[in-house]
Amino acid sequence: MPAEAGGPTVTRIGVIGTGVMGADHARLLTEAVSGARVGGVFDVDGGRARGVAAASGGARVFADPYALIVDDGIDAVLIASSDATHEDYVLACVAAGKPVLCEKPLAPTVEACSRIVEAETEHGSRLITVGFMRRFDPGYTGMRALLTAGEIGAPLLMHNVHRNPAAVPGLPGSALITNSAVHELDIVRWLFGEEIVEVAVHTPRPSGQAGGTRDPQLLVLTTESGVLADVEIFANARYGYEVRCELVGETGTVTVDAPPPTSLRRGGLHARALPGDWRPRFAEAYRLELQDWIDGAAGGASAWDGFAATFVAHACVAALTSGDRHAVDLPPVPALYRR
């Protein structure tokens, strides 16, 4: 199709980290998001970066991520590199005054997250978005709309299931919380608009398929107003990827299960296929998250949300270790993040 050069403004995104997540984001920015394009790419693996740059309509490849961040041809930055590198890149974006979308977790430690929040607070306006994409998933937004509309009365309980088919053997049990359950920690905070104040973790005997990991686990979270949310996190569930939840209110419940549009009758079964991993399950959430970010609509998680999720996750890790209930004493919310 013939097309002009020029036209409306297009935001040029610099992508740092072009593994599975980064490459997927670059593809969406190029093919499925309005008003954006990939302007630059950095990856520790230069070949991988060049491949993604080529697939993104000829984006520039940077040898230095900090050069990418400050480059005049880059309007905003998407960070999908390894967790340990998030802090430095995010801080550089803040220093450069550039909007940044950082994949979850914001940073692996509470201290690192805290430094990021401080930097943004000092900067004085919000530049950081954390990639908790479930906030854009039609299932979760539908659930929140039903709750807000009063369709199930005041919330009391929430049951969450989060299963992956397989994890790396030898993964520490804490990683199930900090890498996976962190999504539910964010969703609970977002859904109820309040903080988690107490956590406990129960564990069955570990699965023989879990390669020594303390897997599965059952988290029990209590919010400020007394809503109780349990989370089954199971990293080696084998049968497929599945994220489901049921929210129980005083007069009804909402379930998010996101069945696919087709079902199959074959071989004695009537079946719906389950996704193999999180990407097909949350494809629409990622697209909407990026569009929202490009549009500047601010529907995403803030640096404070990223800090709080990591803070609660570490309380859960402590509860996993001790077997006891742990109080979660979050510091007060800085003014920048108050609604």
Site for its own copies in 310-329 (CB under 8 A): 323, 325
Whichever of 279 and 325 has its CB closer to its own copies, that residue is 325
CB atoms within 10 A of CB 260: 12
- Quick check: 136 and 129 in contact, CB under 8 A? no
Whichever of 78 and 112 has its CB closer to its own copies, that residue is 78
CA–CA–CA angle 272, 257, 146 (5° rounding): 145
* 225 binds its own copies, rule: CB under 8 A: yes
Q: Residue from 269, 332, 338, 339 that binds its own copies (CB under 8 A)?
A: 269
* 193 binds its own copies, rule: CB under 8 A: no
CA distance 113 to 304: 8
* 218 binds its own copies, rule: CB under 8 A: yes
Q: Residue from 45, 47, 84, 255 that binds its own copies (CB under 8 A)?
A: 255
* 150 binds its own copies, rule: CB under 8 A: no
As measured in angstroms, the least distance from the Cβ of 122 to its own copies is 21
Span near its own copies by CB under 8 A; candidates 86-94, 294-302, 307-315, 328-336:
294-302
Span near its own copies by CB under 8 A; candidates 72-80, 84-92, 303-311, 313-321:
72-80
As measured in angstroms, the least distance from the Cβ of 302 to its own copies is 15
Read off the tokens for 166. 């397989």
* 292 binds its own copies, rule: CB under 8 A: no
- Quick check: 17 and 43 in contact, CB under 8 A? yes
CB atoms within 10 A of CB 244: 15
Listed residue (312, 284, 333, 313) closest to 139, CA to CA: 284
As measured in angstroms, the least distance from the Cβ of 327 to its own copies is 13
As measured in angstroms, the least distance from the Cβ of 299 to its own copies is 13
Q: Residue from 7, 124, 170, 332 that binds its own copies (CB under 8 A)?
A: 7
* 52 binds its own copies, rule: CB under 8 A: no
Listed residue (150, 209, 214, 145) closest to 181, CA to CA: 214
Write the CB contacts of 82 (distance below 8 Å, at least 6 apart in sequence). 17
Q: Residue from 63, 262, 332, 338 that binds its own copies (CB under 8 A)?
A: 262
- Quick check: 241 and 164 in contact, CB under 8 A? yes
Read off the tokens for 222. 């209590």
Write the CB contacts of 1 (distance below 8 Å, at least 6 apart in sequence). none
CA–CA–CA angle 52, 46, 60 (5° rounding): 55
As measured in angstroms, the least distance from the Cβ of 220 to its own copies is 5
* 9 binds its own copies, rule: CB under 8 A: yes
Residues 21-50 that bind its own copies (CB under 8 A): 30-37
* 222 binds its own copies, rule: CB under 8 A: yes
By rule CB under 8 A, what count of residues binds its own copies? 99
Whichever of 49 and 161 has its CB closer to its own copies, that residue is 161
Residues 100-129 that bind its own copies (CB under 8 A): none
As measured in angstroms, the least distance from the Cβ of 199 to its own copies is 11
DSSP code at position 32:
T
* 54 binds its own copies, rule: CB under 8 A: no
Write the CB contacts of 310 (distance below 8 Å, at least 6 apart in sequence). 105, 106, 107, 108, 109, 110, 113, 178, 182
- Quick check: 222 and 192 in contact, CB under 8 A? no
Span near its own copies by CB under 8 A; candidates 116-124, 174-182, 187-195, 225-233:
225-233
